[in-house]
Amino acid sequence: MLTTFDFPAKNPRTQTRNYSYSKPLLESSTKMTAREYINRLSEFKSEKELNKAEKFFKGNDGVTKSFGVKFGDVFKTAKEFTSMPLTEINKLLDNEHYEIRMGAVSIMDYQARSKKTSENEKKSSSTCIYLVMTD
């Protein structure tokens, strides 16, 4: 189970920090599926972010849509899903929302940088990116 730390500012009196665990990022029973990733990411949706993104979509291609999530939340969520299989990542790459596609690429990036990922898995990931780009 993944957890995060809250890093409070130093107490001026004692010059120490009081560390505490925050809630788990992802329950261990959660499956690493594209649907679960999208559901988790949708917890961060906001109208403000959606409106902000629409400013940058002048001359929109009519296909790409905004999901209304900050990129920090996309990357944080992607890090939680680093054990997602390529078949599920491919589903994310086919999504119409650019933040979800960015999350898929981030998941592959985290997998490629992980020392736990075998060379064979890294090659499969590279092939997946190539096939998506040439599709």
Contact 12, 70 (CB under 8 A): no
Higher per-residue confidence, 51 vs 93: 93
Please give the pLDDT value at position 21. 36
Within a domain: 21 = no
Digit-coded pLDDT (tens) for 9-48:
555 555 554 443 333 444 444 578 999 999 999 999 998 8
Within a domain: 12 = no
Is the confidence at residue 63, as pLDDT, over 80?
no
Please give the pLDDT value at position 27. 43
Strand partners, 83: none
Higher per-residue confidence, 35 vs 53: 35
Give me the amino acid identity at 60. Answer: N
Within a domain: 83 = yes
Structure tokens at 6: 């809250």
For the chain, the distance separating the N- and C-terminal CA atoms, rounded to the nearest angstrom, is 36
Within a domain: 5 = no
Within a domain: 80 = yes
Question: Which residue range(s) make up the domain with 111?
Answer: 29-134
Within a domain: 9 = no
Within a domain: 4 = no
Within a domain: 14 = no
Q: How many domains in the chain? A: 1
Please give the pLDDT value at position 14. 54
Strand partners, 21: 5
Distance CA 96, CA 64 (A): 5
